[in-house]
């Protein structure tokens, strides 16, 4: 079953290699999507794929060295992305 999640990360998540680290973690999972900085200092991630892969990917981010940088995580269900290949850094 395909699933997609949008995650907004708040904390010390810009200027510390957060997006690059997330992209590196994504290589270990069968997910597509992107991660980007937002003007308000948060980082937005969208990931799609099989539900268990998406959840495992998000858990891997939480359990990584990035955890100390994240103060708040808001997760929303979004429609699966169409026409997206791989996992990229945008914005």
2, 5, 12, 19: the catalytic one is 19
Give DSSP secondary structure letters for the chain: -EEEEEEEEEES-SSSSHHHHHHHHHTTSSEEEEEEE-TTS-EEEEEEEEHHHHHHHHHHHHHSGGGGGEEEEEEEE-PPPSS--SEEE--
Does 12 qualify as catalytic in the annotation? no
37, 42, 62, 85: the catalytic one is 37
Does 19 qualify as catalytic in the annotation? yes
- Write out the catalytic residue numbers: 19, 37
């Amino acid at each position: 079953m395909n699933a997609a999640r949008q995650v907004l990360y708040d904390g010390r998540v810009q200027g510390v290699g957060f997006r690059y680290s997330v992209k590196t973690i994504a290589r270990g999972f069968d997910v597509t999507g992107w991660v980007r900085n937002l003007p308000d200092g948060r980082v937005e991630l969208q990931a799609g794929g099989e539900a268990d892969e998406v959840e495992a990917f998000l858990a891997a981010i939480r359990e990584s060295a990035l955890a100390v940088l994240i103060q708040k995580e808001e997760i929303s269900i979004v429609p699966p992305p169409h026409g997206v290949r791989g996992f990229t850094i945008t914005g």
